[in-house]
Amino acid sequence: MIIIMDPKTEIQNINKVQECIESNGLGVYSSRGESYLIIGVIGDSGKLDSNKLLRFDGVQKVLKVEEPFKKANRLFKPDDTIVDIEGKKIGGGNLGIIAGPCSVESEEQIIKIAKDIKAAGGNFLRGGAFKPRTSPYSFQGLELEGLELLKKAKKETGLPIVTEIMSTDYIDQFVDNVDVIQVGARNMQNFDLLKQLGKTNKPILLKRGLSATIEEWIMSAEYILAGGNENVILCERGIRTFETYTRNTLDLSAIPMVKRLSHLPVIVDPSHAGGYWYLVEPLAKAAIMAGADGLMIEVHNDPKNALSDGQQSIKPENFRALMDKIRVCAEIEGKIIK
Amino acid sequence: MIIIMDPKTEIQNINKVQECIESNGLGVYSSRGESYLIIGVIGDSGKLDSNKLLRFDGVQKVLKVEEPFKKANRLFKPDDTIVDIEGKKIGGGNLGIIAGPCSVESEEQIIKIAKDIKAAGGNFLRGGAFKPRTSPYSFQGLELEGLELLKKAKKETGLPIVTEIMSTDYIDQFVDNVDVIQVGARNMQNFDLLKQLGKTNKPILLKRGLSATIEEWIMSAEYILAGGNENVILCERGIRTFETYTRNTLDLSAIPMVKRLSHLPVIVDPSHAGGYWYLVEPLAKAAIMAGADGLMIEVHNDPKNALSDGQQSIKPENFRALMDKIRVCAEIEGKIIK
Amino acid sequence: MIIIMDPKTEIQNINKVQECIESNGLGVYSSRGESYLIIGVIGDSGKLDSNKLLRFDGVQKVLKVEEPFKKANRLFKPDDTIVDIEGKKIGGGNLGIIAGPCSVESEEQIIKIAKDIKAAGGNFLRGGAFKPRTSPYSFQGLELEGLELLKKAKKETGLPIVTEIMSTDYIDQFVDNVDVIQVGARNMQNFDLLKQLGKTNKPILLKRGLSATIEEWIMSAEYILAGGNENVILCERGIRTFETYTRNTLDLSAIPMVKRLSHLPVIVDPSHAGGYWYLVEPLAKAAIMAGADGLMIEVHNDPKNALSDGQQSIKPENFRALMDKIRVCAEIEGKIIK
Amino acid sequence: MIIIMDPKTEIQNINKVQECIESNGLGVYSSRGESYLIIGVIGDSGKLDSNKLLRFDGVQKVLKVEEPFKKANRLFKPDDTIVDIEGKKIGGGNLGIIAGPCSVESEEQIIKIAKDIKAAGGNFLRGGAFKPRTSPYSFQGLELEGLELLKKAKKETGLPIVTEIMSTDYIDQFVDNVDVIQVGARNMQNFDLLKQLGKTNKPILLKRGLSATIEEWIMSAEYILAGGNENVILCERGIRTFETYTRNTLDLSAIPMVKRLSHLPVIVDPSHAGGYWYLVEPLAKAAIMAGADGLMIEVHNDPKNALSDGQQSIKPENFRALMDKIRVCAEIEGKIIK
C-alpha cells in the first residue's frame, strides 16, 4: 500500500499517518521531494483499512499494490490446486464435466438423466434440490427429498453429486450426502455461509455473483480457505450487464485472468450465462479453449416440461454430441476427462 | 402474459401451448390473422414460467404484461404503507432519519453518537454489530456484544435501533433486541433469510442488492410480505456500474419509480452510495426532493479511527448542520420527522 | 505516476524504465527497500503512456496519481467557470434552465413552446434540428430548416438557442445561428468534432456518453478547452446500467464529484435520464439540490403527437408548475435564474 | 408491435390509438376480454414510435415483437453474407485474420510487421493512421502519412489494408486507399459518418460501441446497409462493465446471438477486449470456437516502444505460434483462412 500525501502538508500530519501504520505492526518508508511525498507500507498491508487512511489530513490518495487475497493467491502457491472428488479430479489438467437438470423433479427423471450423462462421458451429476427463485411463488425445489433422489442416482451411476446449499441449517445433511457443495451466485457474499463451509472439508463450488468483481469473487473463496477448507472450485456463470438479448454476459476473459491470479480451478456454466439452449455449445467449446477446468451444463430429458430453466437446458442427445466436441477441445488443450 | 407464435405453425403446437396454460388453472384467449398469432393468458400468469413456454414448438416470444409482485404492488393496495416503530413512523409523509456509526465499537462511542443524533433531530439509531466484510481478515463486528451496546444506547436516548442481520442463527436475538432488522445488499437474495424474516412481525429494512433490478428488489420484499410480515422498508444504497470515482452509483430515479409500482416506503443511504463524506449532504438533500421516505446516514465522532468506512462517515457537527437542511427540504415536500 | 517494480529485478531493467521516463523530459525519483522498489515520476506524467510502461521487464504495476485533465482541472483554476450567453449565465451560482421540444417540428410549434417557456421562467430554448436516432427509418429532424425555425423562435422570445450538432459539415451554420452548440451523448468521443469545436468560440454543451466515466467525460471537455474554447458546459443525462424500468440511470453523485474535480458548470437532463414524463419533476428538484448549475427539460405542447420522445416530455402547464418548485430549490441553494 | 390497454378505458381512447396506427399506413387488430384489451399492429411496425404510443390515454404498455432491423435481419436473407476483399473472404466459412500494430509508426515498422503477419498466415493488415485517444495530449496518429505507409506495406505483401476512419472529411482518401474502412467503437453511433459510408461501396468493419446493445449495434449496421452498401463486417471488441482487472469484458455470447439474428459476418478483437497481451491467445481461440468469422489482433515488433497500446500487443513470434493454434481451431470448425 502506498499513501500519496500533499507535499506541503505539515510534519505532524505525516507523523500521524506513520503512527497509524506502525500501530498495526507494519513498517514504513517514506520518500519526499519538492512535488511529491510518498509513504509506503512494509509488510502485510491487508491489515490496514485504506478507507481509514483517506480520512487523515494531508492524505490525497491511497493506492493498493498487493492483491488482498493470500491463501488463494498464486504468488504464494504457484502450483494448480487439484480438487479430488472420489478419484475424479478438477484442476491441473483435469476437466470436470458436471451435468444434469436445473431441478431434481422425480426419481425417474434424475436417474434417467444421470444414466444419459454417464453414457455421454460426463463425470459429475448436478441437480437442484433447494432452488433460489426470484419469486416466492415459483417452485422452490424438492428440498431434502431431492437430496435423497440425487443419492439414488449416484448409487445407480457412480457419478458424484453437485448441488446447491441455501441455508446454514442444512450443512450437516449436505456434508453427509453431497460430494460437492455449490454456493450459488446470490449467496457468493453470504459470509456466514462461507465461514461455516470453511469449517467443513467438503469440496465447494463457488459461483461468481452477478455483479462480483474478480477480486471479490476470489475474496469469497478466501473466506472458505481461511477457515481451513482448501477444496474450492470457482465457477464463472455470467455477469450482469446492460445487454438483454442474453440472460447474462459470460465473462470468459475472467478465466485466464483468475488462473493467473490464483491456483484454484475455474469452471464455466454456459447454460446460465447465455440463458438459451442454442448458446450452450458455442460457449462450452469457447470456455475450454479459454482455459476452463470444466463445465457445468443443464441437461433435461423433457425441457418443455422442466420445472425450471427449461429454455436453457439441452437434451441428452445434444449433450452426447456436445461431449464429442468437448473431447476434441480437451485434447487440443492437453487436458483429460476421467 | 402474451405468447407470440409463428402464424404458420401447425394447429397441434397451438393446442399444446393452450393446454399447458389451462393445466395451470388459467384461461386462454387467442387472436389470429395472416401475419400474427397471439395467445393471451387470462388470470394470474405469475403461476406460469415464461421460460418454459419458450421451449414449445412454434413459440417465438413470451411477453410479460403484469408485474410479478402482488402484495407489494400498489395496484392492489393504493395507499402508502406506513411502518410504525414505537410510535415513530416511516412512509406516508413521515421521514425516518436513521443515523449512527458503521460499526458499534464501544459503549462510550455508541452512547455518545446516539446522544448527538438525538440532539440533532435524527429519530433512529443505526450501528453494525455483525459486519459483512469483503475480506475475512477485516474487523467483523462486536457481534452479540454489539447488540447489547445498542440496547444501552437506546435506553439512554429512546432512539429505536436499526442493525443488520447476517445469519438465520440469530433471528431470535434480533427479534428480542432490535427494532428494525436490516437485510444488507449482499443478502438481498438470501431467500432462506427472507423467508424466516417473513415469519416474524419485526419491521425489516431491505437494502437493494448491488446489481438488483427494481423488479428483483421488490420481489425480495415480496418474499417477506408473502410470509405474513407487512412491515418492509426498502433502502436504495447505490448500484454497481462502471464508474469508479464514486463507490457506487446512487439510483435516485428508482425512488419515484418504486413509489409508483409499490406502496412500500423507500429510504436512501447516501453514505454507502457515494462512498465519501463530502457527497453525503448533496445526495441526502437530493434524495428527499426525489421523494424518499427517509435517510440512513453514517455518523462517527472520530472517522479517522473508525473501525470501518470512516471515509464515508460525517461528524456529529456536520450531521447537525445537515439536519437543518433536511428539515427545510422536508417542509417543502410536506413531510414530517418525528 | 508511480511505477512499482519487482524488488528483485536486475538493475538494467530499472535503468531502462528510468531512461524511458527521462526521454520524455520528466524527472525520476526512486525508493528501494527489501520488499519494495518504487519509481516515481516528477513533472507532468500526462506525457507518459502508462500502458507502455507495463511492458518493461520487472514492472509490476503502474499507478496514476494525478488526474489526466489540466485545463478542466479545478486544481489549476479554483474558481467556477461562468459561461455567459448573451447576458444569461450558467455556473458560479447561476442556473441555466434550458427547455423545449425534443425535435423542432414546425414554426407554429416551436414559437408556441418558446413563448410558454419564457412565460414560465426558463431562460434558454432547446429543440433538435438534427436528430441522432438509433434507427435509420426514424424521423431524422428538419435539419437546416429546423435551425431557421429556432431563429424565428429566438426572435420572438429573446431566448438563446441550444441545439445539437451531428456533423462537422455544419459547423459554420451552427456558429452563425446557434447560441449554445450541443454535443450529444453518442458523439462525446467523436474527437474530430470536439477538436473542430475547440477552434470556435461558441459555448458548447457536452453531454456525458452513455458509458463514459467521469474521467473520460472531463477529458472530452479537455479536447475543446485544449483547442482554445473555454466555454464548456457539462450535462449529465443518465448512464447505461442493467436497470430497465428507467431509460437510463441518472448519476446525481457525478454532480458534486465533477464540481470537486473541475471548475466547469454541470447541468442535468432529467428527461432523457428517466425516460418518463412523471420522473422529470422529482429528478429535476433532486438535481438542483445535488448542486447542478441548471437543467435541460423536454417540453412539448402535444406530447402524444410529438415526432420523438413524447413519453418523456412534459406539457407547458407542468413546466410552469415545475418552475415554481425549481425557484424554491434555487433559493435554498442560494442560486439565481436570470 | 402490441399495445396493451386498460380494459376499462373508454372506447374513444381505443379509437385514437387505432387511428394513430392507421394513419401510418398500418393495419390493426384488436382483441378484448373482461381482463384484457390488446391492439396489435399489422405491417411494418418499425414505422411507429413506441414511445409516442405510450402517451395515449389508456395505454399501459407497448411491446415490441419484431426486431427493428430489416436489411441486416437473417429472417429476410437467410444465407451468410460473405464479404470479398480482393479475393480474400470473410463470412460463410471464411476466416479473416486481421493483424498489425495499433498505430502505424514508420515505414520500416509497418513493412516489417506486415511481412511477419503474411509469413505467419494472417490475411489482412491493420494499422491505425488516425487514432481516437481519450486524451488530447496523446499521440494522435500519423494521419494521411500513415495511409501512405500502409499502402507501401500492402505493395510489399499483398495484404489488404484495414484502418480506422474518424472524420467524414477523409472519406474520399479512405475510399481510394483503404480496403476495409473501420468504424471505431466510439463512433458506432456517429450516424452522420455511417450514412456517408453507406453511400460508398467499400467494405466497412463496424466495431461494437462500449455500451452498445446487440440491437443498437445491428441498427448501426442497418444505417450503412440502408444507404446501399451491403459489405458490413461486425466486430465485437469487449463491452464496458464493472470489472476492472480486464480492460473490457469480451462478450462472446454475442457471437452466436448475432449470427442467429443477422447474416452479417462477425469477427472478434481479443486485444482490445482483454487489454493484456497474455489474454490474446485464450480469447482468440475461444472466439473461433464460439463461431467468429475472424479475428483482429494487435501485433507489434517492439511492444515496449509502441506509441499506443503496447501492453495488449503480441510479438510476431507469438503471433506465429498463435496462428498454428488458430488453424487447428479453424479446422475443427470447418472453416478456412485464405
Q: Is the pLDDT of residue C129 over 90?
A: yes
pLDDT tens digits, B10-19: 899 999 999 9
Q: Which of B306-320, C149-163, D119-133 has the lowest mean pLDDT?
A: B306-320
Q: What are phi and psi of A264, to 5 degrees?
A: -75, 145
Read off the DSSP letter of residue D25.
T
Q: How far is Cα D317 from Cα D307, in angstroms, rounded to an integer?
A: 20
Q: Is the pLDDT of residue A230 over 90?
A: yes
Range(s) of chain D covered by CATH 3.30.70.1140: 2-63
Contact A250, A285 (CB under 8 A): no
What residue in B sits closest to D248 (Cα-Cα)? B242
Nearest CA to A150 out of A97, A113, A203, A120 is that of A113
Q: What are phi and psi of C63, to 5 degrees?
A: -110, 130
- Per CATH, which fold does B2-63 belong to? Alpha-Beta Plaits (3.30.70)
Contact D204, D162 (CB under 8 A): no
Where does residue B30 rank: exposed (0-12), middle (13-18), buried (19+ CB within 10 A)? middle
In this complex, which of B242, B251, B255 lies closest to C211 when CB atoms are compared? B242
Where does residue C172 rank: exposed (0-12), middle (13-18), buried (19+ CB within 10 A)? exposed
DSSP string, D266-289: EEE-HHHHH-SHHHHHHHHHHHHH
pLDDT tens digits, B53-104: 888 888 888 888 788 899 999 988 999 999 999 999 999 999 999 999 999 9
Q: What are phi and psi of C182, to 5 degrees?
A: -95, 135
Q: Is the pLDDT of residue A332 over 90?
A: yes
Cβ–Cβ gap A253/D250 under 8 Å: yes
On chain D, the residues whose CB falls within 8 A of the CB of B6 are: none
Determine how β-strand A59-63 pairs with β-strand A2-5.
antiparallel
Nearest CA to D233 out of D181, D168, D285 is that of D181
Q: In percent, how much of chain C has pLDDT > 90?
A: 74
Quickly list H helices, D66-177: 107-120, 144-157, 171-177
- The confidence score (pLDDT) of residue B71 equals 95
Q: Does the CA dihedral A3-A6-A8-A14 come out positive or negative?
A: negative
Q: How far is Cα D327 from Cα D323, in angstroms, rounded to an integer?
A: 6
Cell digits of residue B308: 470501518
pLDDT tens-place values along chain D, 338 residues long:
888 888 888 899 999 999 988 988 888 888 777 677 888 888 777 778 777 788 888 888 888 878 889 999 998 899 999 999 999 999 999 999 999 999 999 999 999 999 999 999 999 999 999 999 988 988 899 999 999 999 999 999 999 999 999 999 999 999 999 999 999 999 999 999 999 999 999 999 999 999 999 999 999 999 999 999 999 999 999 999 999 999 999 999 999 999 999 999 999 999 999 999 999 999 999 999 999 999 999 999 988 778 777 788 999 999 999 999 999 999 999 999 98
Residue B165 bridge partners (DSSP): B183
In this complex, which of A60, A63, A244 lies closest to C63 when CB atoms are compared? A63
Average pLDDT over residues B226-249: 96
What residue in D sits closest to C217 (Cα-Cα)? D134
Average pLDDT, chain C: 93
Range(s) of chain C covered by CATH 3.20.20.70: 83-337
CA distance B58 to chain A (A): 12
pLDDT tens digits, A26-59: 888 887 776 778 888 887 777 787 777 888 888 8
Cell digits of residue C105: 417540428
ipTM of model: 0.92
- The confidence score (pLDDT) of residue C40 equals 82
Residue C99 bridge partners (DSSP): C125, C297
Residues of D with CB under 8 A from a CB of B: 2, 4, 29, 31, 33-36, 38, 40, 42-43, 60-61, 63, 65, 240-242, 244
- Per CATH, which fold does A83-337 belong to? TIM Barrel (3.20.20)
What CA–CA distances, in Å, run from B331 to B79, B226, B317, B323, C107? 21, 35, 22, 12, 42
Nearest CA to A160 out of A122, A125, A121 is that of A125
CA distance C240 to chain A (A): 7
Q: How far is Cα C187 from Cα C194, in angstroms, rounded to an integer?
A: 9
In this complex, which of D51, D136, D191 lies closest to C166 when CB atoms are compared? D191
In this complex, which of A46, A68, A167 lies closest to B192 when CB atoms are compared? A167
Q: Is the pLDDT of residue C235 over 80?
A: yes
3-class DSSP state of C2: strand
Name the residue with higher pLDDT: B71 or C50. Answer: B71
Nearest CA to C3 out of C41, C32, C35 is that of C41
Q: How far is Cα C278 from Cα B256, in angstroms, rounded to an integer?
A: 8
What residue in D sits closest to B211 (Cα-Cα)? D242
Nearest CA to B107 out of B62, B153, B55 is that of B153
Residues of A with CB under 8 A from a CB of C: 2, 4, 29, 31, 33-36, 38, 40, 42-43, 60-61, 63, 65, 240-242, 244
In this complex, which of B214, B243, B253 lies closest to C283 when CB atoms are compared? B253
pLDDT tens digits, C283-310: 999 999 999 999 999 999 988 778 777 7
Q: In percent, how much of chain A has pLDDT > 70?
A: 100
Q: How far is Cα B324 from Cα C325, in angstroms, rounded to an integer?
A: 19
Contact A71, A222 (CB under 8 A): yes
CA distance B76 to chain C (A): 20
Average pLDDT, chain A: 93
User: 3-state secondary structure string, chain A?
Assistant: CEEEECCCCCHHHHHHHHHHHHCCCCEEEEEECCCCEEEEEECCHHHCCHHHHCCCCCEEEEECCCCCCCCCECCCCCCCCCEEECCEEEECCEEEEEEECCECCCHHHHHHHHHHHHHHCCCEEECECCCCCCCCCCCCCCCHHHHHHHHHHHHHHCCCEEEEECCHHHHHHHHHHCCEEEECHHHCCCHHHHHHHHCCCCCEEEECCCCCCHHHHHHHHHHHHHCCCCCEEEEECCECCCCCCCCCECECCHHHHHHHHECCCEEECHHHHHCCHHHHHHHHHHHHHCCCCEEEEEECCCHHHCCCCHHHCECHHHHHHHHHHHHHHHHHCCCEEC
- The confidence score (pLDDT) of residue B40 equals 82
C27: phi > 0 → left, psi -120 to 50 → alpha, else beta; which?
beta
What CA–CA distances, in Å, run from B84 to B94, B203, C318, D201, D250? 10, 8, 34, 70, 49
Find which of A78-87, A133-142, C9-18 is predicted with most confidence, using mean pLDDT.
A78-87
What residue in C sits closest to D213 (Cα-Cα)? C240
- The confidence score (pLDDT) of residue D193 equals 97
Q: How far is Cα C287 from Cα C326, in angstroms, rounded to an integer?
A: 10
Contact D286, A273 (CB under 8 A): no
Q: Is the pLDDT of residue A283 over 90?
A: yes
Residues 6+ apart with CB under 8 A from D81: D91, D92, D230, D232, D263, D264, D265
Alpha carbon of residue A53 to chain centroid = 31
Q: How far is Cα C170 from Cα C163, in angstroms, rounded to an integer?
A: 12
- Contact partners of D by the rule of 3+ C-beta pairs under 8 A? A, B, C
Q: Is the pLDDT of residue A114 over 90?
A: yes
Contact C10, C53 (CB under 8 A): no
